[in-house]
Amino acid sequence: MKTLFPRTLAGAAAIMAAACPVHAQQAASPPAAPAPVLEFAFEEIVTLAADIPVGRTALGERNIVPITGGTFEGPGEGPGIRGTIIPGGWDWQLRRPDGCTQIKADYMLRTDDGVVINVVNSGVLCRSADGALVPARTTPVFEVPVGKYDWLGKSAFIGTLEPVKLPSGPAVKIRFYRAR
């Protein structure tokens, strides 16, 4: 007895291709999305307090770095973005058994026109075989009030992170690039 339904997925695909060849071509090769292009958005200098070692956990060696302030500035979108980093944020670090350190910083920015923006910036810091710090990349997410700076919450970003020494103590320079 002959059935009207195909017994295999390949049989179903053959019937669909015969019934609608244009649909079959689209399903076989979807159009490629353009590759993202990065454009500089802004740079932060984040000041830090001394590490607070928490100790060994089941996941690795935990460390907390208090964020004490700093500044940021850049072209952003439109007239630009600038302001200060509100003291009180934290960088939650986990030193893994492979020698790399997972970082997750959570802190607030205050723009020069009074808007408060939450930043959660995650990444992994590793060292090369000779002990040099490998360039760090981060993935920031911004929580922004609706308005002038909401482009931060509607875009994907990549960050670069490097330690800097200031007369006042330890700090990091973070540069944010918007994916277009």
Q: Dihedral sign for Cα 159, 164, 167, 168, please.
A: positive
pTM of the predicted model as reported, rounded to 2 decimal places: 0.81
For the chain, give the mean pLDDT. 89
pLDDT of residue 175: 98
pLDDT of residue 23: 53
Q: What is the DSSP string of 108-144?
A: EEEETTS-EEEEEEEEEE-B-TTSPBPPEEEEEEEE-
For 1-19, the pLDDT digits (tens) are 555 544 554 555 555 555 5
For 59-77, the pLDDT digits (tens) are 999 999 999 999 999 998 8
Per the model's pLDDT, the better-predicted residue between 60 and 23 turns out to be 60
**pLDDT of 126 over the 60 cut:** yes
Domains identified in the chain, total number: 1
For 98-121, the pLDDT digits (tens) are 999 999 999 999 999 999 999 999
Domain containing residue 125: CATH number? 2.40.160.20
Per the model's pLDDT, the better-predicted residue between 23 and 30 turns out to be 30
Is residue 81 included in any domain, yes or no?
Answer: yes
Is residue 61 included in any domain, yes or no?
Answer: yes
- Cα–Cα distance measured from residue 60 to residue 79, given in angstroms and rounded to the nearest whole number: 44
Is residue 148 included in any domain, yes or no?
Answer: yes
Is residue 129 included in any domain, yes or no?
Answer: yes
**Model confidence at 137, in pLDDT bands (50, 70, 90)?**
very high
Range of the domain at 44: 39-179
- Cα–Cα distance measured from residue 135 to residue 112, given in angstroms and rounded to the nearest whole number: 30
Is residue 4 included in any domain, yes or no?
Answer: no
Amino acid at site 74: G
- Cα–Cα distance measured from residue 113 to residue 89, given in angstroms and rounded to the nearest whole number: 21
pLDDT of residue 72: 98
* Contact criterion met (CB below 8 Å) for 86 and 67: no
**pLDDT of 131 over the 70 cut:** yes
Amino acid at site 85: I
Question: What is the mean pLDDT of the segment spanning 131-160?
Answer: 95
pLDDT of residue 77: 86
**Two structure tokens written together for 92:** 């939650």
